Amino acid sequence: MPRFIPEPPHRHGTAAKTAVVLVNLGTPDAPTGQALRRYLKEFLSDPRVVEIPKLLWWPILNGIILNTRPKKSAAKYASVWLPEGSPLRVHTERQAKLLKGLLGQRGHRLSVAWAMRYGSPSLPDTLAGLKAEGADRILILPMYPQYAASTTATVVDDACRWLLATRNQPEMRFTRNFHDDEGYLAALEHSVRRHWQSAAPLGKNDRLLISFHGLPKRSLDLGDPYFCECRKTGRLLAERLKLGAEQVEVCFQSRFGQAEWLQPYTAPTLRDWGRQGIGRVDVICPGFVADCLETLEEIAQEGRDDFLKAGGQVYHYIPALNEDDAWIAALADIAERHLAGWPTLGTDDPQAREASAQQATLCGART
């Protein structure tokens, strides 16, 4: 087996290209047990996602989880599946198209692609496709506002494994986080205020719950900044919305297993509020810039059931940013900052054509 991936044919005089790749977590190809088993095996086999020694985790994963969880997860995915496919896939693809269009309006000539860390399209396949098209400068933008070793870092790992197998490597950059980015926060604020325009602002006995994906508490103890970045996002959003401390709570969802996770937990908080006579709860999930199973099924459906069955009266889920204009503008701003210094001229630009001609002349002289 060759050490390096075969290189695409080189064409002298071709203008160098710049590309941006949006990377999200991943999704199964279909809401079926078989598809979920493939997806969960890849996802839960990542040592950054599950930090348990392989000798202990392998029999649990392959002997128990992959024989019981896929069927249950498939039913949940089926409840939110769109005609075009998985919600996460649909929204991520739309975001990439809108980002390319907006960057084009701002004068940039570059490629914008998207990939999934787990499932398809995979990041290595996407990078290989861009390289074959001539991209030699690639910005990878993980769609996780808050950095975590189990999310953002896995994207960097995957890209670097591809680089290790690539002979003629492109120049590559990564964004780390955008948890306190002004445009991102403004888009979140706008989404909440837009919701309040239709549902009315929160009353004194109402609450805004800001829910993030949970991680084992051990991750915080070991130095992961995720908890702190989530808290900062929540605090800054609450300040922009001018909410008092008694009106808002930052919680963490999706606990798995028996170990202690980041607290407070979302589901118990909703049940407690219902029992305490809180009349209305609005929930937003700033850690997800595209709606997915965790927002549409766990929060919009299960969260509503938890709150209402415990005695709550009104429950609203505020959708993720998805294709919101303010969010796409913020995403373009983030991309532009990290593209700084890279030429983003297309082959239709006179300067780019001149540079390509000079390159072709030099290559010809050398041969």
Which tens digits make up the pLDDT trace of 30-69? 999 999 999 999 999 999 999 999 999 999 999 999 999 9
For residue 199, tell me if it sits in a domain: yes
CB 248 within 8 A of CB 238: yes
CB 179 within 8 A of CB 287: no
Predicted TM-score (pTM) of this structure: 0.91
Contacts with 45 (C-beta within 8 Å, 6 or more apart), sequence order: 61
Asked whether residue 117 falls in the same domain as residue 259, the answer is no
Whole-angstrom distance, CA of residue 188 vs CA of residue 192: 6
For residues 37 and 76, is the Cβ–Cβ distance under 8 A?
no
Predicted local distance difference test score (pLDDT) of residue 366: 42
Q: Taking the CB of residue 174, how many other CB atoms lie within 10 A of it?
A: 18
Which of the four pLDDT bands, split at 50, 70 and 90, describes residue 8? confident
The Cβ-side half-sphere exposure at 64, using a 13 Å CA radius, reads 7
Find the domain containing 299 and state its range: 185-317
Of 317, 339, 359, at which residue does a domain stop? 317
In a domain, 304, yes or no: yes
With 0-12 / 13-18 / 19 or more C-beta atoms within 10 angstroms meaning exposed / middle / buried, residue 26 is buried
CA dist., res. 336 & res. 37, Å (int): 38
Q: Does 298 map to a domain?
A: yes
The answer to whether residues 66 and 169 belong to one domain is: yes
* CA gap 301, 315 in Å, rounded: 10
Is pLDDT of 349 > 50?
no
pLDDT band at 348 (very low <50, low <70, confident <90, very high): very low
pLDDT at 230: 98
What number of CA atoms fall less than 13 Å from residue 92's CA on the CB side? 25
Sort residue 204 into left (φ over 0), alpha (ψ -120 to 50) or beta. Answer: alpha
**Are residues 141 and 121 part of one domain?**
yes
Cis peptide before 59 (omega within 30 of 0): no
Instruction: Flag whether 363 is in a domain.
Output: no
Helix (H, G, I), strand (E, B) or coil at 337: helix
What pLDDT does 13 receive?
A: 60
Whole-number Å distance between alpha carbons of 305 and 282:
14
Amino acid at 193: R
pLDDT per position as a tens digit, 147-186 = 999 999 999 999 999 999 999 999 999 999 999 999 999 9
Same domain, 208 and 117: no
Same structural domain, 74 and 58 = yes
The answer as to whether 56 is a domain residue is yes
Query: Is the distance from CB of 265 to CB of 271 less than 8 angstroms?
Result: no
Residue labelled with tokens 């390319």: 100
> CA nearest 247: which of 216, 207, 282, 205?
207
* Whether residue 189 sits in one domain with residue 172: no
Yes or no: say if 312 and 279 are a contact pair by the CB < 8 Å rule.
yes
Q: Are residues 88 and 172 in the same domain?
A: yes
Find where tokens 């392959």 sit.
62
Residue 9 lies in a domain: no
- Contact present, 199 and 318 (Cβ < 8 Å): no
* Range scoring the smallest mean pLDDT among 102-116, 211-225, 251-265, 273-287: 251-265
Same domain, 213 and 157: no
The CATH number of residue 202's host domain is: 3.40.50.1400
Q: Mark whether 152 and 272 lie in a shared domain.
A: no
Q: Work out how many domains the chain is built from and give that number.
A: 2
Burial level of 273, CB count in 10 A (0-12/13-18/19+)? buried
Do 159 and 107 fall into the same domain? yes
Cβ partners under 8 Å of residue 238, min gap 6: 208, 210, 247, 248
pLDDT tens digits, 247-298: 999 999 988 877 899 999 999 999 999 999 999 999 999 999 999 999 999 9
Whether the per-residue pLDDT at 205 is higher than 60: the answer is yes
Helix (H) or strand (E) segment spanning residue 173: strand 171-174
What percentage of the chain reaches a pLDDT higher than 90? 87
- pLDDT exceeds 50 at position 320: yes
Are 242 and 174 contained in the same domain? no
The mean pLDDT value of the chain amounts to 92
Angle between helices 123-132 and 152-164 (to 10 degrees): 50
For residues 26 and 69, state if they share a domain.
Answer: yes
- The answer to the question of residue 132 being in a domain is yes
For residue 7, being part of any structural domain is answered with no
Per-residue pLDDT, 359: 42
For the segment 63-88, the average pLDDT, to the nearest whole number, is 96
Q: How confident is the model at residue 345 (pLDDT cuts 50, 70, 90)?
A: low
Q: How far apart are CA 299 and CA 292, in angstroms?
A: 10
